[in-house]
Amino acid sequence: MIDEERILGFATKYAEAWSSGDPALLASFYSPDGSLKVNGGDAAVGRDAVEETARAFMGAFPDMLVELVELRLEGSIVVFAWHWTGTNTGPGGTGRAVDLTGYEEWTLSDEGLIRQSLGHFDEAQYQRQLNPDQVVGATGIITMQPRMSMITLGVEDLPRSIQFYEQGLGFPRYGEEENVAFFKLNGTWLGVYGREALAEDAGVDATGSGFRAFTISHNVASEEEVEAVMKQALEAGAGLVKKAEKTFWGGYGGYFSDPDGHLWEVAYNPFAWIGPADEAQAQ
């Protein structure tokens, strides 16, 4: 049985070890054959390997500070939630600051040390903070990330649809706009908009085969990213539906169609971030 008071003290000192700049101290919290795996990377197995992993992070961010946010037990697993800040001033660094949250899932040994740690944080957001002008993916520099910000349905009767989703299905509504409704779901958003108005926004005929009564939205952080994603999509074989331009609501966006004609909106909203982060918050 896990001693909650002891593990809280252990976790507090573990956070201090990450902030100490001493990779050997951090590795001492692991059992001799313990392992640390971060996101989808290879596991560092053994204290020496864990120490090298810690050294790489500490070297890249000499002023890194890790704070314990929450500690909870999920069966035999200890979840260590953290807040990490630091400046990438190490060798080859960008000089930019990062501010991230994440968590580790610990399996402890009989001696109370970490036998296995599975670390999770938003890699895409990390890359965005380090390199705001570009996002680095597994195959090189890319701009579009594997996420869906929002699905917007074109509907014939907007009040009826709002009632159906909000009261009938219990979806939590975000805001009280009159001509459109947004529902914040787990992992993405749902929008309902008048069918003709949505078709007009996409620049297609609401009654013809070019309009399928819904669009898929991909939100980005700047007008430049809108242009970059549109360019990437067109180069991949997408059809240009509406060239990116300033929108009536103060944003910037355009539309492309996939090979089956489904409409994708690429949009920059300067007022709010819509949809999930580039990489799932909890992995």
Reported as a single tens digit per residue, the pLDDT across 115-146 is 999 999 988 788 788 877 555 455 555 567 77
pLDDT given at position 270: 80
Residue 220, in any domain of the structure: yes
Residue 193, in any domain of the structure: yes
Residue 179, in any domain of the structure: yes
Q: Is 69 exposed, middle or buried (0-12, 13-18, 19+ CB in 10 A)?
A: middle
Same-domain status, 105 and 155: no
Reported as a single tens digit per residue, the pLDDT across 30-56 is 999 999 999 877 889 999 999 989 988
Residue 82: is its pLDDT beyond 90?
yes
Residue 228, in any domain of the structure: yes
Mean pLDDT of the chain: 86
pLDDT given at position 281: 36
Cα distance between residue 127 and residue 21, in whole Å: 22
User: Which has the minimum average pLDDT: 14-23, 136-145, 232-241, 251-260?
Assistant: 136-145
End-of-domain residue from the set 80, 101, 121: 121
End-of-domain residue from the set 84, 106, 121: 121
Same-domain status, 94 and 13: yes
- The two tokens of residue 54 are 């810690």
Q: Which amino acid is at 246?
A: K
According to DSSP, the residues that pair with 107 across neighbouring strands are 116
Judge whether 230 and 252 are in contact, CB under 8 Å: no
Same-domain status, 156 and 263: yes
Same-domain status, 177 and 74: no
- Per the structure, the complete domain to which residue 255 belongs is given by 150-268
pTM for the full predicted model: 0.50
Cα distance between residue 195 and residue 211, in whole Å: 9
pLDDT given at position 143: 63
pLDDT given at position 283: 42
pLDDT given at position 202: 87
CATH number assigned to the domain comprising residue 85: 3.10.450.50
Residue 137, in any domain of the structure: no
The confidence band for 176, taking pLDDT boundaries of 50, 70 and 90, is confident
Q: 3-state DSSP call for residue 7?
A: helix
pLDDT given at position 232: 87
DSSP letter (8 states) at residue 172: P
The confidence band for 279, taking pLDDT boundaries of 50, 70 and 90, is very low
Q: 3-state DSSP call for residue 230?
A: helix
Total number of domains constituting the chain: 2
Q: Which amino acid is at 184?
A: K
pLDDT given at position 221: 85
Cα distance between residue 12 and residue 76, in whole Å: 19
From edge to edge, which strands make up the β-sheet containing 263-268?
173-174, 180-184, 189-194, 150-155, 214-220, 263-268, 252-257, 239-246
